[in-house]
Chains A and B, each alone.
Chain A
């Protein structure tokens, strides 16, 4: 590797540049998670993750946008962001996503939770890639305190940071996509776009029953705790948890049968009643066109700079 620029740095720089920032990141993420969990526990609604099912509050531009246009635009735009290769356009994309967040006026706590959810996976990239990327001609590597086996490649770091930026840019758009309309309306929009009706209904049904089974699981867990069960590392715990799982499956499969019988008894023929969708206005299409043009511009910008 004769053509690699090597920068020597003392060993303590490794801590200053790598260990300290990631340690700080880990602490911040843990604290934020705990804080949000505690706050939602106080409010008595532990389901921070659940987008409002009935009636989304808000009258922003995004709320009023036609749901079909919104879905197509944001999904296509997300794929465009995935195709970005350089750092600068990825950062611009984050800026644009923040702009959308401001316009949509969605709950910032939920946005933060979504970012925290991807933090682990992205941190793995940021930590692993700089040290494992193969070295090419003209790369810059930093060697800390003469440890030659530990080479921090700037190209690898740049690559990982670009991935992280793209992931954040797309994640920021999820809340405007999902929380600006009630879930049934979003699914209806999907079915108008050609996704089979059954798919949307399955999402609705399982969405409802996740909460039902969660309650069931919580009740069973309370029962176990009352009888003196505590989680430890060991075979006994694993066996108890496995029995718990088995019981959860038995109960929920039986419940499924009952639920389905009850649905059929009430006249379910494979369709739920639909709300009427608002008619598409020309302005909706113009909005979609504008947004996608921005996406194309980003991609062109990405390919132009070297």
Chain B
């Protein structure tokens, strides 16, 4: 769920932009300058993946995947998610122009946190990677929901009700997200484990002198 225009107080919207830009700059510094085009292309893969709907009883939910992005991309995930959201608000208008910074914080911070969690505890066996991956996926969405609720609640006590409902609406998504992340990470652990080492690292040696 993305925040749309006109919901957040102006100070929060502007603050979200400032904090989001700062974190994006930090995130960009973690990749070498040469890798940034690659980040862009990988972002479109995540973008396409987020369009996939998982059937859930009578309705369906589409995946948000902050946890998965964090596990695969590491700190660069923030930049990637910010870019994805920018594209989404440019092309689809999910999440407005003025709320872009706040939306990037809501999805990007959980991604980086869960990516760190996954890298720290993933261990070596496939089973363990699957379980930790599932936990990272579920907690990524849970954290995003909490941040969403906090952002909504900055509007004052009038917004508390909406914040609570938004939080509750995420519960089924959190469960699905956890299961899908677990299976996806399990698949990658079997098929291409090198992807789980996160591909974008700050190079140890400067690339060109």
B interface list, Cβ under 8 A from A: 1-8, 10, 13-14, 28, 33-34, 36-45, 47-49, 51-52, 54-57, 63, 68, 72, 83-84, 86-87, 90-94, 96-98, 157-162, 164-166, 176, 179-184, 186-188, 191-192, 195, 199
Bound state CA distance, A166 and B98, in angstroms?
11
A-B pairs with beta carbons under 8 Å apart, 26 shown: A49-B92, A82-B98, A114-B93, A117-B92, A117-B93, A125-B162, A159-B158, A163-B7, A164-B6, A167-B5, A177-B97, A205-B41, A206-B47, A206-B83, A209-B45, A210-B44, A217-B49, A217-B51, A242-B182, A242-B187, A245-B63, A248-B48, A249-B184, A253-B199, A259-B41, A260-B38
Task: Tell me if B162 and A124 are in contact (CB < 8 A).
Answer: yes
Residue of B nearest to A133 (CB): B158
Q: State the 7 A-B residue pairs at the shortest beta-carbon distance, nearest first.
A: A132-B161, A166-B6, A242-B183, A246-B187, A252-B45, A209-B44, A202-B40
Residue of A nearest to B8 (CB): A82
Cβ distance B193 to chain A, nearest Cβ, rounded Å: 11
Task: Tell me if A203 and B179 are in contact (CB < 8 A).
Answer: no
Bound state CA distance, A177 and B37, in angstroms?
26
Task: Tell me if B8 and A238 are in contact (CB < 8 A).
Answer: no
Task: Tell me if A174 and B97 are in contact (CB < 8 A).
Answer: yes
Instruction: Answer whether residue A41 sits at the interface, using C-beta atoms and an 8 A cutoff.
Output: no
Task: Tell me if B158 and A156 are in contact (CB < 8 A).
Answer: yes
Cβ distance B178 to chain A, nearest Cβ, rounded Å: 10
Neighbour of A198 across the interface among B33, B90, B96, B160, CB < 8 A: B33
In addition to A206-B84, A250-B188, A256-B45, 4 A-B residue pairs with Cβ atoms within 8 Å of each other are A117-B94, A171-B4, A233-B56, A241-B52
Q: What residues of B have a CB within 8 angstroms of the CB of A246 in the complex?
A: 183-184, 187-188, 191
Contacts known (A51-B91, A79-B10, A82-B98); A233 close to B158, Cβ less than 8 A: no
Task: Tell me if B98 and A256 are in contact (CB < 8 A).
Answer: no
Bound state CA distance, A124 and B4, in angstroms?
12
- From residue 252 to 301 of chain A, which have CB atoms closer than 8 A to chain B? 252-253, 255-257, 259-260, 263, 268, 270
Q: How large is the interface on A (under 10, 10 to 19, 20 to 34, 35 or more residues)?
A: 35 or more
Q: What residues of A have a CB within 8 angstroms of the CB of B159 in the complex?
A: 129
Task: Tell me if A50 and B91 are in contact (CB < 8 A).
Answer: yes
Q: What residues of A have a CB within 8 angstroms of the CB of B68 in the complex?
A: 245
Residue of A nearest to B17 (CB): A79
Q: What residues of B have a CB within 8 angstroms of the CB of A268 in the complex?
A: 37
Neighbour of A210 across the interface among B87, B93, B94, B181, CB < 8 A: B87
Cβ distance B139 to chain A, nearest Cβ, rounded Å: 17
Q: What residues of B have a CB within 8 angstroms of the CB of A133 in the complex?
A: 158, 161
Q: What residues of B have a CB within 8 angstroms of the CB of A79 in the complex?
A: 10, 13-14, 98
Q: What residues of A have a CB within 8 angstroms of the CB of B180 in the complex?
A: 238, 241-242, 245
Task: Tell me if A128 and B165 are in contact (CB < 8 A).
Answer: yes
Q: What residues of B have a CB within 8 angstroms of the CB of A239 in the complex?
A: 183
Q: What residues of A have a CB within 8 angstroms of the CB of B195 in the complex?
A: 249-250, 253
Residue of A nearest to B68 (CB): A245
Task: Tell me if B48 and A207 are in contact (CB < 8 A).
Answer: no
Q: What residues of A have a CB within 8 angstroms of the CB of B179 in the complex?
A: 235, 238, 242
Q: What residues of B have a CB within 8 angstroms of the CB of A128 in the complex?
A: 161-162, 165
Cβ distance B75 to chain A, nearest Cβ, rounded Å: 16
Cβ distance A173 to chain B, nearest Cβ, rounded Å: 8
Bound state CA distance, A114 and B56, in angstroms?
25
Neighbour of A78 across the interface among B33, B34, B98, B160, CB < 8 A: B98
Bound state CA distance, A193 and B146, in angstroms?
34
Bound state CA distance, A83 and B40, in angstroms?
33
Q: What residues of A have a CB within 8 angstroms of the CB of B41 in the complex?
A: 205-206, 209, 252, 255-256, 259-260
Residue of B nearest to A168 (CB): B6
Bound state CA distance, A252 and B160, in angstroms?
41
- From residue 168 to 185 of chain A, which have CB atoms closer than 8 A to chain B? 169-171, 174, 177-178
Q: What residues of B have a CB within 8 angstroms of the CB of A202 in the complex?
A: 36-37, 39-40, 43, 83
Neighbour of B5 across the interface among A166, A210, A249, CB < 8 A: A166
- From residue 115 to 171 of chain A, which have CB atoms closer than 8 A to chain B? 117-118, 121-122, 124-125, 128-129, 131-134, 156, 159, 163-167, 169-171
Instruction: Answer whether residue A32 sits at the interface, using C-beta atoms and an 8 A cutoff.
Output: no
Instruction: Answer whether residue A231 sits at the interface, using C-beta atoms and an 8 A cutoff.
Output: yes
Q: What residues of A have a CB within 8 angstroms of the CB of B165 in the complex?
A: 124, 128, 132
Residue of A nearest to B14 (CB): A79
